Each structure stands twice: as structure tokens, then as C-alpha cells.
Copies of this chain bind each other. A is one copy, B any other.
């Protein structure tokens, strides 16, 4: 089905073949994602997965597509050129040097990006994919519980992150979905404050943004706490973000666009007078990549549909003072949306 859709694209655009090399797409189309990489060739009516010799047994065991092996680069490019790929579909992230080699050694002349058709397939998650994302979200919940226990006065941000990542892995995660963010005090005003050696102080806002990679699928969640008692301004910001985030999850439904969802969330923050401090988009798709389509932003008119998985993550960042972000991974359903990350949101 997935490869069939790609073949329709190949035929529509009169390509000789398409070549896929990105790990997440190899997994998506073949079911196998070799550590040393691989080359999936899709022709108008066939497909072949060519992998390094060291990966052959494992690829054969997992791939839905026939597998061949190669020993040397020479052998690989000879095999690729046997498909006579003059007009070749490739991923936009294919490297310049690979494109040069395909020209020189496989006779490729014209290159056509195939990202759009892959995007359209991957943007709607199938049942098995949703199960993996749900499990990844469950692990993120466990890691957040550990963080809420661990984040206290005197602890280093990095120690909190170490504990969270340990919990993820002990619960079956392959690894964190991204560098875990534990941003305390003034650092909480940095939207990407990866855990540092800073010690958490009493009265700090602490933004904790984390996710797990489980069976190739990601999760993404943020919670913010105050260590000790929050002051009025911290509460004010917190409840503005919380209302915006709740509203986003409530209104998200099929038929509205990603941009419209961004607007709803952005408007709540603006009503509270913090519009200038919400300096990023409302969210992004989550799946085989931690950031994928759609972008829940003013630049993406994608219509939300059942099976999409996105984040809703408004934030307010006040330089020198601190920041608050609250984020869930949600699934768009027929009737609206459900939260896949389930940790309590009212934390201060």
C-alpha cells in the first residue's frame, strides 16, 4: 500500500525510479532500518532494498521488500545503475555528495523531490503506528513522574535529566526522542534549554520538555513547575499558558487547519497580554521523526484529519525572569482529539 502509493507518484511524474536512503523512510517502507544504512529502489512496478553485507541477515528478517547485499560502493552503484535511473526521485535531505555520485556512477540526470508523497502518507498514522506512539507517550509519562520527584532545590538540571532518561530506557525506550530539556530559573526563558550543570534554586520555574523513542516512534511532552511556592507573576503566566493549552486540545478536530489551531492558542496568550512572549509555533507533527508534518503554525494550512498526531505546546518566555511551557502529544480523532501524554497539567 505504502509502496504502491509511491509507485503511483513515480508513474505520474514519469520517473525511472525513486531512491530512499533516510533511516525513518527505510523503516516506513520496508520495516527494516539498518544501522549502517540502506538503499531502497522503487521502480514503476517493483522494489528492491540494497543493504551493506553486515546488515543483510537482519534486513532479510524484517524487510517486506526483497533484499540484496553489496560489499563495496562500486558494487552498490553498479547495481543502482542497472535500473537506468535517468530521472530519479529522491528525498530532499539526500546529500549533495550522494547526488554527485548518482550522477557520475549511476547515470542519473534529473532529480525530482519525493518528499510530498511521503509526507502525505506519513502524516496519517495507521493503527500500529498509533500503538507505538501511545507506548512512547506512556514512557514519557513515567519519565515525567521521575522528574517531578527529582527536581528539587540543589539538584543539577543534568541530574534530573539523567534520572528521566534512565527511567525511559528501563521501560523499554530505545533512547530519548531528543536532548532532554530541564531549564530552571532564568534558563526557563530559553525555549531550548537543554539540561545544564545549573543547580535548581528555591522559587525557580523549571521547564521540563522530554520524550521517548520507542520502536522507532517518538513522544513529546512538557511540564513546568515551581520549586517551592509560586509568586503572583509566575502564577499569572502559568495559568495563561495552561488555559491556552487546554483550549488547543479542546478545539482541535478534523476540518480545521493547523493554522487555525495555532490562531486559537495564540489568541488566548494574547488576551492575557503575553502575545509578544509566545515566540514559537503552537506545535508540530510527531511520528517517526520528533518534528514532522503538519507544522501547527501560521504558515501551514494543512487540514487536520483523523490519524494525525501533533503537539499543542504554547509557552511564554520572559527574558531574565523565566518561562512556562505546557505540551501534550495529541491524536486527532473523528470527533476531536485525545491526549496521548497523560501527566497532570495543573502543577502549580
Contact = CB atoms under 8 A, between A and B. Distances in A.
Contacts of A194: 35, 174
A95 B97 contact: no
Nearest to A279: B54
Interface string A152-186: 00000011011101100110101110010000000
Majority DSSP secondary structure for residues of A touching B: mixed
Contact of A166 (B90, B94, B162, B197): B162
B169 A165 contact: yes
Nearest to A280: B54
| Top-8 shortest CB links A-B | A92-B97, A162-B169, A166-B166, A35-B192, A94-B96, A93-B95, A162-B170, A162-B166
A141 to B, nearest CB: 17
A113 interface: yes
Interface string A88-107: 00111111110110000000
22 contacts: A35-B179, A35-B194, A54-B279, A54-B280, A90-B96, A91-B96, A92-B96, A92-B97, A93-B95, A93-B96, A93-B97, A94-B95, A95-B95, A96-B96, A96-B113, A97-B115, A100-B113, A162-B170, A165-B165, A165-B166, A172-B197, A174-B179
Contacts of A191: 54
A265 B90 CA distance: 40
Given A113-B96, A279-B54, A169 B179 contact: no
Nearest to A195: B169
Contact of A179 (B91, B99, B159, B175): B175
A77 interface: no
Work out how many copies of this chain go into the complex: 2
A163 B163 CA distance: 10
A239 interface: no
Contacts of A9: none
A180 to B, nearest CB: 9
A208 to B, nearest CB: 15
Contacts of A100: 92, 113
A127 interface: no
A27 interface: no
Contacts of A94: 95-96
A111 interface: yes
Interface in A28-42: 35-36
Given A165-B169, A166-B162, A169-B158, A192 B36 contact: yes
Interface in A41-96: 54, 58, 90-96
A279 to B, nearest CB: 7
Contacts of A197: 172
Nearest to A166: B166
Contacts of A179: 35, 174-175
A280 B140 CA distance: 37
Interface in A11-40: 35-36
A190 B159 CA distance: 33
